[in-house]
């Protein structure tokens, strides 16, 4: 490992001086903390408001946020164990807003001087294996968290956690956060289709009308959808150098322009030779839906996010378009969702397109 690389495992779990401290009985206190958090999670679960879930489990409301029970465990563990570094780049998304795509884009932008396009890791590795979700890192125990060799000098990590639930160190460090949002109508349809495919075979699919009602009531994974976006939008207004808000639609409409914005924001600006040499176009094409979805790894591999939650890679590539909601929502449903969005987002300078 050279000086531009960092060991994720080391950075995530070691004490500041690298020393592993044991208690009198030879236990690692991190392990004890882990058990405490798991016990706290088990104790708190039955006390939380519950609503029907989109898949097998119900959703619970924790500090105003709807989560699956296992999702809550991941969030509680991440809030306890995760220590943010000032150089970290964190991709934050509401579910189905383009996480997979933006993981690929940011990874490519940040590591473009290390890899050639012809032998790029994205050709053989799913973006979720290159950029980990913070809330899925600590499922087993901190010492069992997946070891990934960091490749760029900054760590690139990802989360679905709303701003309000981010670990304190993320809020207080001078890391940078890229927040991606998507038209809620497409996010709703994408999530509904995704969870329909993941449900246990014995469960009937959730009717769209029910999913629509739950979504409008804010009852969706990491929802309410609008609070999620507004939390990051507020943070970006307060600290534009720390939080950047982008939309799926903006990236789709003008990828070259938005890739350059992203590159500037994460501290890897493009130089004139790269611009004239077609590097942006090659990044757009490498990360495109057409390219990633045809790769063998994305057709056949799986993501084991936690002990209980496994997702075939192909489930992250469905249509990759703006406006698929038109094939599913009635005009009345679309109008209701637009109305909520307009009421909640209000101001004309918000970047979300309808």
Catalogue the active-site residues. Answer: 160
* Footprint on residues 319-338 left by ligand PAP (CB under 6 A): 319-320, 324
Closest approach of Cβ 32 to ligand PAP, in Å?
32
Q: How many CA atoms lie within 13 A of 91 on its CB side?
A: 27
Using rule CB under 6 A, residue 249 touches ligand PAP: no
Closest approach of Cβ 99 to ligand PAP, in Å?
3
Which of 70, 93, 220, 313 is close enough to bind ligand PAP by CB under 6 A? 93
* Footprint on residues 96-135 left by ligand PAP (CB under 6 A): 96-101
Closest approach of Cβ 278 to ligand PAP, in Å?
19
| Main-chain dihedrals φ then ψ at residue 181, nearest 5 degrees | -125, 165
Using rule CB under 6 A, residue 179 touches ligand PAP: no
Using rule CB under 6 A, residue 289 touches ligand PAP: yes
The position carrying tokens 């903390």 is 33
DSSP, residue by residue, 41-110: HHHHGGGS-EE--SSSS-EEEETTEEE-HHHHHHHHHHHHH----TT-EEEEE-TTSSHHHHHHHHHHHH
**Residue closer to ligand PAP (CB basis): 33 or 324:** 324
Using rule CB under 6 A, residue 236 touches ligand PAP: no
- Which one-letter DSSP state was computed for residue 181? E
Residues 6+ apart with CB under 8 A from 126: 100, 297, 298, 301, 303, 313, 316
Using rule CB under 6 A, residue 95 touches ligand PAP: yes
Which of 195, 235, 292, 337 is close enough to bind ligand PAP by CB under 6 A? 292
What span, in angstroms and rounded, lies between the C-alpha atoms of 279 and 282? 5
* Long-range pairs of 191-198 with CB within 8 A, sequence gap ≥ 24: 191/54, 191/95, 191/96, 191/215, 191/220, 191/221, 192/54, 192/328, 193/318, 194/96, 194/315, 194/318, 195/54, 195/55, 197/315, 198/55, 198/311, 198/315
Using rule CB under 6 A, residue 317 touches ligand PAP: yes
Question: How far from 299 is each of 40, 294, 310, CA to CA, in Å?
Answer: 39, 7, 15
Residues 6+ apart with CB under 8 A from 61: 48, 49, 50, 51, 67
Give the total of residues touching ligand PAP (CB under 6 A). Answer: 21
Using rule CB under 6 A, residue 222 touches ligand PAP: no
Using rule CB under 6 A, residue 318 touches ligand PAP: yes
Site stretch for ligand PAP (CB under 6 A), options 68-76, 91-99, 195-203, 329-337: 91-99
**Residue closer to ligand PAP (CB basis): 198 or 340:** 198
Site stretch for ligand PAP (CB under 6 A), options 61-69, 111-119, 210-218, 314-322: 314-322
Report the DSSP pairing between strands 149-150 and 50-51. Answer: unpaired
Using rule CB under 6 A, residue 220 touches ligand PAP: no
Site stretch for ligand PAP (CB under 6 A), options 54-62, 163-171, 263-271, 312-320: 312-320
Closest approach of Cβ 127 to ligand PAP, in Å?
8
**Residue closer to ligand PAP (CB basis): 34 or 316:** 316
Which residues lie near ligand PAP (CB under 6 A)?
A: 93, 95-101, 186, 190, 193, 287-289, 292, 316-320, 324
């Amino acid at each position: 490992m050279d000086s531009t690389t960092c060991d994720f495992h080391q950075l995530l779990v070691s004490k500041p001086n690298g020393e592993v401290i044991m208690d009198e009985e030879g236990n690692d206190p991190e392990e004890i903390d882990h058990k405490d958090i798991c016990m706290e999670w088990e104790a708190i679960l039955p006390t939380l408001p519950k609503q029907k879930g989109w898949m097998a489990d119900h959703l619970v409301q924790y500090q105003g946020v709807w989560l699956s029970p296992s999702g809550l465990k991941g969030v509680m563990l991440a809030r306890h164990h995760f220590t943010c570094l000032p150089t970290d780049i964190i991709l934050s998304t509401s579910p189905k807003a383009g996480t997979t795509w933006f993981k690929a884009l940011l990874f490519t932008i940040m590591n473009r001087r290390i890899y050639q396009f012809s032998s790029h890791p994205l050709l053989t590795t799913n973006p979720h294996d290159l950029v980990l979700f913070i809330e899925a890192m600590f499922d087993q125990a901190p010492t069992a968290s997946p070891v990934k060799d960091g490749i760029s000098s900054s760590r690139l990590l990802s989360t679905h956690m709303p701003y309000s639930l981010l670990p304190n160190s993320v809020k207080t460090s001078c890391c940078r956060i890229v927040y991606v949002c998507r038209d809620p109508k497409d996010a709703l349809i994408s999530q509904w289709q995704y969870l329909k495919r993941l449900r246990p075979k014995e469960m009937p699919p959730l009717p769209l009308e029910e999913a629509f009602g739950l979504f409008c009531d804010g009852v969706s994974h990491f929802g309410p959808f609008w609070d999620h976006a507004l939390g990051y939008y507020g943070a970006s207004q307060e600290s534009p150098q720390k939080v950047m808000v982008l939309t799926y639609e903006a990236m789709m409409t003008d990828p070259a322009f938005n890739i350059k914005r992203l590159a500037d924001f994460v501290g890897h600006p493009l130089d004139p030779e790269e611009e004239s040499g077609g590097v942006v176009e090659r990044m757009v094409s490498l990360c495109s839906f057409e390219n990633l979805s045809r790769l063998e790894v994305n057709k056949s591999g799986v993501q084991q996010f936690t002990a209980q939650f496994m997702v075939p890679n192909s489930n992250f590539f469905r249509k990759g378009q703006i406006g698929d909601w038109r094939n599913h929502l009635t005009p009345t449903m679309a109008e209701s969702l637009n109305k909520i969005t307009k009421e909640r987002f209000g101001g004309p300078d918000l970047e979300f397109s309808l």
